[in-house]
Structure 1
């Protein structure tokens, strides 16, 4: 399978891996100001946008990203389910990863045993394994994930297509991200959350601790962190850091 890739800008490569429902073009619209300094490559994950259909599954998708988009040195940024994909992909091709940015992955397995995390994991699994129609699925998924958008009575076909892809997906609670491999890799890691969810803060704090990553919180758009005020500035600084630059914790500002 060949993934369709949207490409914008010029400069060092930044691969942007989207999450559920929206494809590469829609999920990263807020990052267009970065094209003056960076080449943004936003693949459509299988079944999204213009890429061929396949079951949503983080492991085979990670292999596709590693083979097709980490064929040369690149920064790697993943959002939500795409952040799980990106962690696996970075471990498959570490020699070509310049940096890894992980944004609110639903990687509940990293904090299994914490009641709030286990409850969230069960709710996500129940949704993706249900036979609910796509409109009702969107209405359940958006508040569960923390998407601050009201679902209209007749959603755009892009949303319906993305929701159909999510229903029947491999549940994210099955992921066991290669955190030790990421810690041992030569590239720096940044973990970003939106400050809206106790569960996401626990997951992101755990990943940052286990990988030695920098940590940022960008409030204002809940799970749609790339749209939050200050996110682009935090990401730009991280991508542009010197190889021996110190990683730090910071809060986004508008």
Structure 2
């Protein structure tokens, strides 16, 4: 016997509700036959909301019982529903994973081998560039969140807006291996200040903060990942001059 569900969703000339499509897809993947009702005019939407006492669409009904919107439907099927305030490492995992794969790809193309020292250098440099881009997408939000924990930004507020440009410049120069005399001090400076700031906020003051490392609107928790990012920049700031001028 096929399970059946009734779905009401907005399908207008100027608006196709994405959550309606996601609800339909979820129901079908769960083995339901969907009776799909399109609300094609604004007055139809308003009348439907008034009739059922709801504020949003889509709305799903199963066995005559209203389940609710897309998040309610996910909860009905015992699937995870993410709250806006939930912390997540997903942005960091995505950035570092793609950066690592790009570094390995460049290493293979340039050297003919995957696991090389240059691959690690490129990984850090690419990661720095990606992280800088995340911050530069909304510089105002980043600099505001940054003030929650960065010791230098608290003393000199404009540093919050300077930081992403320094990170991007150091990453780009390290990627090419040029102007080490400039890129290394920048990476060492911002990495050291960042590491000290994160260590104090998280491990000394025991504060629970969101990290501004991937932009001002992220829910990444401030902690080990943030500290690792800064330690990697410090390491590159020390290593690059050694490789360039000593070895």
* TM-score in same-fold range (> 0.5): no
More helix as a share of residues: 2
More strand as a share of residues: 1
Query: TM-score band, normalised by the shorter chain?
Result: under 0.3
- Return the TM-score normalized by structure 2: 0.24
Give the greater-gyration-radius structure (CA): 2
